[in-house]
Structure 1
Amino acid sequence: MTGTDVSTQQGFTAEERAAMKDHARDLKKAAARRGSKAEKAAQEEQDVLAKIAEMRDSDRIMAERVHAVVTATAPVLAPKLWYGMPAYALDGKIVCFFQCAEKFKARYATLGFSDLAKLDDGPMWAAGFALTEVTPEVEERIAALVERAVR
């Protein structure tokens, strides 16, 4: 197998399969919810906060700061779980998300943006950002990206 990653030959990793199961569980939970739109939104935010609380310290601290910045900068975005991770949606469609490092045994957490985010900058632009710490400067960059994403 020259030039071929062995893991792609064997299918999804255990972490990827777990994320897909989380996503299926999230969808079932959302579909089973009853109540007003506001009640459902409040419950989805509680689900996000509960998921953040379960994270190990470094991921949890960053996820809490990302959540605070996103919800303050773009209250139009609704917090919800997406593949078992905190995400923020506009009209039910994910615009940005936080992926903790621990979930995929990665070196860093990720702040990602979907193709719905209006971050276009010529023929090529970043849609994912590595996070090792959320400093005041990083918070400013996140806020600017989120603001731009929902314009």
Structure 2
Amino acid sequence: MSDTKSGFSSAEREAMKQRAAELKEAKGVKGAAKRAKEYDACLAAIEGLDGADRQIAERLHVIVAEEAPELLPKTWYGFPSYARDDKVVVFYQPAAKFDTRYGTVGFNQDAALDDGDLWATSFAVLKVTDEVESTLRALVAKAGG
């Protein structure tokens, strides 16, 4: 439900606060120290999840490491995310974050999943089956470019 004053729900405001904290945390940190801090933050975000959200995020983490190792782990609005040149390419938005029925694996514009005039950039995931994993691996490999 939206707050009548700002138009944002409390979960949305919390996500914005998390993003501001991520930016503040990264300020002045560069190179290997920054990558290590972002990696640890991504793992902490995954460890903070429960149930299907955690299982999906853990599996996505492995898939990205294997299929697109050039994408570096970090957080983005508190979501486990993977970036190239500090631009998030793929992320997992847990269902619990906004109290939704399913979590989503999303791809931002730098993912290069372009396919003609129409393509999907977000995928609802209930659990990672062999078929889902195969699809995610192909998408992540393509997105990693």
After TM superposition, give the deviation of residue 9 of structure 1 in Å. 6.5
Match status 1:22 vs 2:15: no
What is the aligned counterpart of 1:78 among 64, 72, 78?
72
**Quick check: 2:73–2:81 contact (8 Å CA) kept in 1?**
yes
Residues 6-30 of structure 1: per-residue CA shift (max 9 Å, x gap)? 8497601111101000000111111
Partner of 2:83: 89
SS of residue in 2 equivalent to 1:123: coil
Q: Where in structure 1 are there 5+ consecutive unaligned residues?
A: 1-5
Alignment of 1:36-115 (within 5 A): 37-115=31-109
TM-score normalised by structure 1 residue count:
0.89
Runs of 4+ with deviation above 6 angstroms: none
After TM superposition, give the deviation of residue 43 of structure 1 in Å. 2.1
TM-score normalised by structure 2 residue count:
0.92
Partner of 2:111: 117
Q: Which amino acid aligns with 1:17?
A: R
Partner of 1:31: 27
Count matched residues. 144
Q: Where in structure 2 are there 5+ consecutive unaligned residues?
A: none
User: How many percent of aligned residue pairs carry the same amino acid?
Assistant: 47
